[in-house]
Every structure is written in C-alpha cells, then in structure tokens.
Amino acid sequence: MDGIDDVAAERAVSRALRATPDAVIVLGAGDGRVRYANPAARRLAGPDPVPLTGRVLWEALPRLREAGLPARCASVAAVREPATFELDRRVLPPGHRVRLVPVDDCVTLYLAPLSADQRAERDASERARLIGALTGALAQALSSQDVAHAAAEHVLPAFGASGLVLEDVTGGQGPELVGIVGYPPDFPRRMAEADRRQRLAVLGGEEPKFIGSRAEMDRLSGGLDLSRTGGKHSWAVLPLNASGRFVGTCVISYDRPRTFSDEERGLLTTLNGLIAQALERARLYDTEHERAQRFQRDLLPRVLPALPALTAAARYRPAGERSEAGGDWYDTLPLSSGRVALVIGDVLGHGQRAAMVMGRLRTAVTTLTTLDPTPEEVLARLNDIVTGLDDEVYATCLYAVYDPVTGCCALASAGHPPPAVLPPDGAVRFPVVVPGPPLGVTQQPYRPTELTLPEGTLLALWTDGLTRAHRAERDAGRGRLATALNEAALSPAPPAVGCRDDRAPEAAWLERLCDAVTAALLPAGREQEDDAALLALRTHLLPAADVASWDLPDDPTAARLARHHIREQLAAWDLEDLVASAELVVSELMGNVIRHATGPAQLRLLRTDILTCEVSDASEATPRVRHASLLGENGRGLQLVGASTSRWGARYVRHGKTIWAEFPLPRAPRR
C-alpha cells in the first residue's frame, strides 16, 4: 500500500512541477548534467522548448555560465547549504530569482521570474547603485577626459550602450570634443567636417533627444552621415546644463535600433545632470591647470642657449596631476671668456607661491651673473634674498661655473645634491661637495669646490624629486640615478667630441639620454611625490689653437707689446678686420693698468663664436665709466671701449682682476 502511495505522490509532484510557471531543474552535483527539467525550464532560451535532459546546463544555456552559475552550484553542493540570488535581466529577461537546494547527489534549481514589484525594487536598487558609483567616479575626476572616462565606464554597461561622445561648448570657439569611446579613429575628424546646421540639428538645443533608428536620425539631421560613419543605430542626445547654463552635450549610442522606455529616459536625464556638474568642475580645473602650466613654462627657460663650452638638454616633471606649479628650476647662462654658469634649484613646497619664489631666484641669478661673482658669492646673495622674504621660504641651490679653457668647474651648494659626473672613460660618480645650509635658513658662508672635467664629460645636475619617486627608497636614489645615466650614456654611444660647428648629433644624444633617465626613474603611472628636474650637459674644451696669452712687463712698453701681439695673432686667425678696434681697446686697457694698477699684466685672446680680449693684473681696483666734461681729457677711454665692442666688463680672479671685451666676428674664421 505504501508503494502505491509513493508512486501516486511522485506522479502528483511531477504533474505539479510540469504545471508550475517557475523553472525547476535538477542537476548532477558533480557534472552539472540535467537529470530533470520541467517545461518552464525548457523555455528559458525562448518561446520554443529546448531539450535539456542529459546535457550540461551551462552548455545548453551559455549565459548561465557567464553569470557564474557553475561555481555557485559547486559551492552549494560542497557546503550542503541552500543559496538564493538574483540573475540580471541581461542574463535571463526579465530577471529571475534563483534558489539552489542540495538534495543527495543533486542540486535543484528553482528559477522564478521577478514580479513587477520585484523588478521595480530591483531597478530602484540598480539606479541607486549606478548613481552612487557614477557619483563617486565623477568626484574623483579632475580633467574633462577623466569625466568622459568615468561616464563611459559606468553608464555604457548599465544601459547596454556601445559609444559615448562628450563635447564642451564653454570655450567660446564652438564645440570641443573632450572624450569619445566606441567609435572609429576617423570619426572625430568627420564630426569636425560635418555641416554646422545639420550638426546643430542633432546636438544643439537644451532638451534631450532620444533617436531610436537611423531613419529617425536622417529625418532629424537632414541627411547627416554621422550615423553611418560611426556605425551606430540609435542615440540618446543629452544636453549638459550646470549652474543655469548650457555647458556641453553627452551622446550615448547603441549598435542596434532601440526604443527608449520612460524609465530609461528619466534615468539617463538624471545621470546627465551629474555628468554636467562634473564637466563644469573639470573645465575649471583644466583652465587653472593650463594657467599654472603656462606660468611654469614662462618661468623656466624655453630653450637652452647653444654655447661653445657645452651642449645642454633638460627635463622638468611636475609632481602630479593635482600639483599646480612647482619650485624646481634650472638654467645655463653665458659668462665672459667663453665660461658658462650652471644653476639648478628647488624651492620647498608646491603651488604658485613656490613658483613665484623660484621666478624671483632665477631672475636674481640672471642679474648676478652680469657681475660675474664666484659661486659662493652668488649663493650668499640668494640667501639674503630668501631671508628677506616675508614668509618662511626655504630653497636648495647648486651653482657652478665651467671654464672651457682649463676644464675647471667651480661649484657651491646650498643644501642641494651634488652633480653626477660621467667622464668619457669611466663610470658615474658623485663628487664630494661640502653642502652649505639651504637658502633662507642661516647666514653661514658657503664653501666652493673645484672639479677638473675632461673633454666630453657628462655632467648631470638634478633635483631630489628625480630620485625620490618612492619615499621608502630615498636612500637608494643616487644608485638608481647612476645606473640610469650609465645605461643611457652607452645606448646609443655618445658622438665624438671636438666638432664645434655641428652639435646636432650631440644635442639629439642628450635629448634621448634625458628621456631615458626620466623614464627609468619616473615611470609613467607611478605616484610622484615631488617635482623633478634634470639638466644634462656635455663639456667641451677650447682648442689650444684658439687661445693665445702673453705676459707683459710692468712698464710703459707693455701697451706697445700688447698691440704687436694683437696684430700678429689676429692675422694668424684671419681676423685682420678686427685689428684696429682690438688695438684701440687693448691700448686703453693697458693704459689703465699702467696708471692705476700694480704688478705685471697678462694679455689673452680667445676665439670662440666671438673674439674675447682680456687684460689681467694684480690689482683689485676696477675701472668705472665717468662722464667727461666738454673740455676734459679724462673719462673718455672706457666710453671708447664700450663703443668699439659688443660688451665689456670686469671680474675678480684669485690674484687680482680681469678686464675683458668682446668683438663679434666679421665672418666665420678659418679652422
């Protein structure tokens, strides 16, 4: 009797399962093969029943594999605990609630379509999740491109869309494309070339447009071909309004024709308001960032000068996207007698305040070089300037003077890292430079250091931001810099030195070296804590044939001997056109030595891209220009010197002073 009751019960259950509108599937726990499926389950793939018994469920319905159902079934079978979850409508329209129940060696699936109330609750939850995720992403967006990326990442998957175009109209020059996703590479060009009237018919206006087909697009635009060149079939054109004004347009597009429901229209319009506010904030950031970058560019040298003593290249990398401007700077400044002043510095902090202090220091350095002081004197003057500022400002600075006649590089440091030196036949080293206190800290004196650099030496001046990409690795920074310089200097090998007429290969080599070093130490995508600057230089020596010097006696015959040496040397250099001017200048300079100075004098001529005439003596008294009276005889000599030369000046040397004068070359001299 019990057996008959069991059979009757099984038949009753079977009839009930066949009649239920919910899908019921029994799977083998180990292989996922269907042991039983009621008619509702066999209709999951569509209105026509699909045979399921004996097949692996997620092979018969691949979308269930994409939803992670195999892993969920294996988990339920392992822990022997039921589980309930929902399947998105993109997996099984209109969305289903799934319950997995382990039974012996099987897993039973119950899939019930969501009711209208459940779908409304689910949609509300999805909207809240989507708005929350988009709001969070837009809050992190800095630039307009970040806004476009955030919108594409969060909006397109939620609505099954395939393309997004974001345009800004606040620039005053017409619509500006700030972001595009899901279109062919030539589509922006076609948009720019499109007829303005047709384009405005689609993208203009302050009301949303929901275009469900290409035919509808053609009627609206009057034949605009963007629908075909972009490969899309339906569009949601959403105006961006923020702070009571029209700021741009967001176009969300689909690969297939589409009918937009009222719910979709409302949700897209809501999300569009979030995008509009984010775009307005981003444009303000873009404007400020561009202004800060322009301010920074104006403070740094646009082009490093081409100088006979060395070839130079530089790189500057700001700390990060949020940094407005920085206080790092560098410069190369020509001095008298072919020498070059090299400077690099770092003002503590970021922002326009640091950049303004940097600009003042760079201007002060440029002014001080006209007086030709020693490196330690330059730092002392800069320290006075920083100390005199109202706010507490601190800066580090390295100042050096390179002499291409002797190869001597004299430098002093105000709390700045030493340069990296790579001789032609050696490895990178960091010379011992006694660092003085940073600028603005105290009034202690700065101590100079002298290096002798062989011709072709690579000299790298840098700020500590280059070696402090990670604070935890700060101690190993110099080692990384040395490795990067050694590798970059050998691949490719540097060009030969000695040719002053064509520096293009050497300049290109230095540019590649700067790129390689900054890429190695500051790789893209890695957080950078501080601004970084690199000034790379390759030194040259003035050929011995372009330098001539003579010791002169301490008596009135010195002027005659000086003129004689001038005539002979300029004739040897094929510069006879300068003989008259050079004789006049050297006569006046020697006259000042004889009348006002002490000790023997020395005459030196240097031929670079100009001719330099120097007269040195043991006195520290420098001549000054005086305005002679109408009938006076004194005070006219230095006026003649100024009129006969391109520039002249005086500098103190170790034992006395040097008066120098420069003459432009009338033509390229024979080498």
- Domains, in order of start, for the chain: 2-114 (3.30.450.20), 120-291 (3.30.450.40), 303-539 (3.60.40.10), 544-664 (3.30.565.10)
Closest CA to 326 of 336, 314, 317: 317
Question: How much is the average pLDDT of 260-279?
Answer: 80
β-pairing verdict for 234-242 and 245-254: antiparallel
Helix (H, G, I), strand (E, B) or coil at 237: strand
- Higher-scoring residue by pLDDT: 406, 553: 406
Bridge partners of 112, per DSSP, are 97
- CB count within 10 Å of CB 48 equals 7
Closest CA to 202 of 178, 183, 218: 218
pTM above 0.75, yes or no: no
The pLDDT confidence band at residue 456, using thresholds 50, 70 and 90, is very high
pLDDT of residue 654: 80
- The one-letter code for the residue type at 644 is S
Question: How much is the average pLDDT of 342-348?
Answer: 92
Interacting residues of 434 by C-beta distance below 8 A, sequence separation 6+: 413, 447, 449
**What is the separation, in whole angstroms, between the first and last Cα of the chain?**
124
pLDDT of residue 633: 53
Average pLDDT along the chain: 82
Q: Where are the alpha helices (DSSP H) in 491-556?
A: 504-521
Interacting residues of 508 by C-beta distance below 8 A, sequence separation 6+: none
Considering 178-187, 398-407, 432-441, 555-564, the range whose residues carry the highest mean pLDDT is: 398-407
Closest CA to 439 of 498, 385, 373: 385
Question: How much is the average pLDDT of 448-461?
Answer: 95
* Of the candidate ranges 56-70, 487-501, 630-644, the one whose mean pLDDT is the lowest: 630-644
C-beta of residue 195 within 8 angstroms of C-beta of residue 175:
no
- CB count within 10 Å of CB 162 equals 17
β-pairing verdict for 163-168 and 106-113: unpaired
C-beta of residue 350 within 8 angstroms of C-beta of residue 327:
yes
